[in-house]
């Protein structure tokens, strides 16, 4: 039966966009025009927009929840989600099967939902999510030819059952709704098998067509993220298939992911990467023709460094920004890449007033893991705009801790940032570093992530 599915996928071309559907219908779902919106005129209350989310582990999500700013770690009251792991409608929260054993993870759903709600302020937005790690499109997500086709894969059956259950609850509540679109992050498993990767284009076309049939709304937009698994043998084959499917349809979109940071497994997007993925998928459905920038570290190691000292200090440096930057994450050094043994507070001060502009605590690994990037552990903050100027950053280090700071480090600053002077203060309190570090060497405990101000 599997071979039959593959042969069908390779030989058939499914029309994703039925000829009878006017493309303007799709456009009206992608961008809500304020001038024509019934909500603006008060003539008609518009139906709730329901978005479907599906895929494998990068849709399920393996970003540590510390990669979300504090406001997004709380349930969002203006966006609802129905997730297969919870099976009830709640305010939007991180929804991942990885959230076990006291460690919480999230996928693109949090920022995707926030993007849709902010982009459609006159509409109620709801999400239905079903994702299973390590699953393929060729078999597990095979959609069959009809709702009662016994050859449908287990993932597709679970997905449709979740959608049906969620929509049935809305029906029972008397909620008027329509499907606004779907986002998809999957393909890594297919990229490990040559036959599955070669069939991916036809299988993806069939999948989109069949999902639209099964929810009885045929013209809504569909956005997918390109896979980016360096160890997948047929990665490029699947990526090209995704692009080809999008190129052949006015209502299918693909977003890039190869610039998104990943966890140490080089497979799953970290917290920062999941935030950008969710935003890009949302903006694609909203009709954006550009892709949101992802955050990048202010400094990166380029050569040698020393780590000869330990003690109770706040270690940091002064720096200047030559353009406005949006700070998204604060971080501190994890020399062994094994998690912090002791939590460390990080702060940025205004260099003139010495006032703290933002602070956050990178927790000890045993209490709440955080993402690592280039040697630093990062946690998300509420985004802060830094205009051009001079600032100070510092992080706590402790006597005897394995998480030692570096000195005489060879680093490269990102565009828009200049390192000025190493500084430190004595003790464990988060005090403004006033003492110039010896030999004017490049001292590093803290770092930050930023993206351009839009």
**pLDDT of 102:** 67
Q: What is the dihedral of CA 249, 255, 258, 261, to 10 degrees?
A: -160
Residue 318 pLDDT grade (very low, low, confident, very high; cuts 50, 70, 90)? very high
Q: Is the pLDDT of residue 16 over 90?
A: no
DSSP letters of 299-362?
A: EEE-S--B-----SEEEEEEEEESS-EEEEEEEEE-TTSS--SS-EEEEEEETTT--EEEEEEE
Q: Is the pLDDT of residue 320 over 80?
A: yes
Q: Give residue limits of the domains in the chain.
A: 2-285, 296-452
Q: Is the pLDDT of residue 285 over 90?
A: yes
List, in order, residues 6 or more apart from 161 with CB less than 8 Å away: none
**Cα-Cα end-to-end distance for the chain:** 51
Q: For 397-444, what is each residue's pLDDT tens digit? A: 998 787 778 888 888 999 999 999 999 999 989 999 999 976 656 778
Considering only residues 341 and 111, tell me which one the structure prediction assigns the higher pLDDT. 111
Q: For 375-392, what is each residue's pLDDT tens digit? A: 899 999 999 999 999 999
Angle at 363 between CA 362 and CA 367, to 5 degrees: 160
**pLDDT of 39:** 33
Task: Determine the average pLDDT of the residues in 264-275.
Answer: 93
Q: How high is the mean pLDDT of the chain?
A: 88
Q: Is the pLDDT of residue 14 over 60?
A: no
Q: Is the pLDDT of residue 233 over 80?
A: yes
Using the Cα atoms of residue 237, residue 239, residue 242 and residue 248 in order, give the sign of their dihedral.
Answer: negative
Task: Determine the average pLDDT of the residues in 355-384.
Answer: 93
Q: What is the dihedral of CA 274, 280, 284, 287, to 10 degrees?
A: 140
Residue 140 pLDDT grade (very low, low, confident, very high; cuts 50, 70, 90)? very high
pTM of the entire structure?
Answer: 0.89
Tokens standing for 433?
């570093």
Superfamily of domain 2-285: SGNH hydrolase (3.40.50.1110)
Class of the domain covering 296-452? mainly beta
Determine the 3-state secondary structure of 402 from DSSP.
Answer: coil
**pLDDT of 401:** 80
């Amino acid at each position: 039966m599997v071979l039959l599915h593959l042969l069908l996928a390779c030989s058939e071309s499914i029309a994703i966009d039925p000829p009878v559907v006017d493309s303007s219908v799709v456009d009206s779902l992608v961008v809500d025009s304020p001038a024509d919106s019934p909500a603006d005129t008060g003539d008609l209350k518009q139906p709730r927009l329901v978005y479907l989310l599906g895929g494998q582990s990068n849709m399920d999500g393996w970003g540590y929840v510390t990669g979300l700013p504090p406001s997004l770690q709380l349930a969002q009251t203006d966006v609802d989600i129905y997730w297969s792991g919870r099976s009830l409608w709640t305010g939007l929260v991180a929804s991942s099967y990885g959230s076990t054993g006291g460690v919480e993870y999230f996928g693109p759903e949090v920022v995707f939902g926030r993007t849709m709600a902010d982009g459609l302020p006159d509409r109620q937005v709801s999400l239905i999510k079903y994702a299973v790690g390590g699953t393929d499109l060729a078999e597990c997500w095979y959609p069959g030819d009809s709702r009662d086709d016994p050859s449908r894969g287990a993932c597709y059956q679970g997905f449709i059952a979740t959608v049906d259950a969620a929509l049935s609850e809305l029906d029972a509540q008397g909620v008027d709704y329509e499907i606004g679109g779907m986002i998809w992050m999957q393909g890594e498993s297919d990229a490990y098998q040559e036959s599955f990767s070669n069939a991916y284009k036809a299988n993806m076309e069939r999948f989109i067509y069949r999902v639209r049939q099964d929810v009885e709304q045929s013209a809504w937009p569909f956005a997918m993220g390109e896979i980016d698994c360096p160890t997948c043998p047929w990665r490029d084959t699947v990526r090209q298939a995704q692009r080809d499917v999008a190129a052949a349809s006015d209502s299918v979109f693909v977003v890039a992911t190869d610039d998104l940071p990943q966890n140490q497994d080089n497979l799953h997007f970290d917290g920062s990467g999941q935030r950008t993925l969710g935003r890009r998928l949302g903006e694609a459905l909203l009709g954006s023709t550009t892709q949101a920038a992802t955050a990048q570290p202010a400094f990166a190691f380029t050569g040698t460094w020393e780590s000869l000292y330990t003690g109770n200090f706040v270690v940091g440096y002064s720096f200047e920004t030559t353009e406005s930057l949006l700070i998204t994450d604060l971080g501190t050094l994890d020399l062994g890449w094994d998690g912090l043994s002791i939590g460390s507070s990080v702060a940025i001060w205004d260099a003139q007033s010495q006032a703290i502009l933002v602070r956050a605590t990178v927790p000890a690994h045993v209490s709440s893991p955080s993402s690592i990037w280039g040697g630093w552990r990062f946690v998300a903050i509420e985004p802060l705009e830094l205009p051009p100027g001079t600032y100070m950053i510092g992080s706590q280090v402790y006597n005897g801790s394995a998480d030692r700071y570096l000195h005489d480090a060879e680093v490269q600053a990102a565009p828009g940032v200049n390192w000025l002077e190493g500084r430190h203060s004595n003790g464990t309190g988060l005090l403004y570093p006033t003492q110039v570090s010896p030999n004017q060497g490049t001292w590093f405990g803290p770092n930050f992530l930023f993206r351009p101000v839009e």
